[in-house]
Chain A
């Protein structure tokens, strides 16, 4: 059974519909990439899954066996669906440590939280070095690391990442994708949204192509990487 199963997700802003019957699954242990051009609706999809944008009637989102399409955001996080949002959205005037603690807001198991904090600092040592500094003082790459580590502090079953490579230097991008692969090898399921399609498809098991709010293609990531249409539209070839 899929960990996440989206059927006919419709969502938008006010009178405008952005998502047009998006259907998608993520199995436990998978990395799934969603690629698409500017404004295709990738962020809207993740925000609808997190309950920030309300899915419209007829949408069905089943996560870990439960319908979550009408739950408030905090209930969704509590069930194990966390996201590192586009643009990082760290809390600039909270310390790095406070940001990470906010990631664990729904948890009460203090020893587990302490252990996960130690893991974050092992994964991204710079966050440990700067833990008492205001997060707004971190560089872009460090903020991205913080956003990912913060989402992991919820100890999610499925981690959603929105454009983790945006605006970062190439070697940092590689570092971040390697962390994502390590997490996955430890059992974390990942849904990643990227404009950097080549990178995302290289690391993912399966992929979806989103065009103006509709899923137009889905296949194994290796197949998409060689598909002529994908190569032309998203890999710049």
Chain B
């Protein structure tokens, strides 16, 4: 079996994996990183979205072997242990989640969206999150939360510079 070395949320793991093993199953079943859920099997819903080297990927559509040598960030790796990431805080403040099943993927996808566009319009947020489905919220508060986080993150960035 192929051997992989993957950095997940700051910890390096070395494992032998079946070539067909999906990254999301590697995370959940082998590493116990169950913060990333699975919502479908056709890469439509986005619930399993994580960052690979800073770019969002649907971890059901990436093989564990493809993650070899790469850095994975999941919802569990956001924030600094003490403080929530601004996106996490904004989702809470704006009531951007109900059942919360889509939330990890939604937050990770939003993080990538804000990396590309630090000041998105509502329409740009809606288009940017098109690959992540939510069944509870109707998206309105998710859009609000992403905008709120974007504002906060930009202001923090300006304060630093």
> A and B bound?
no
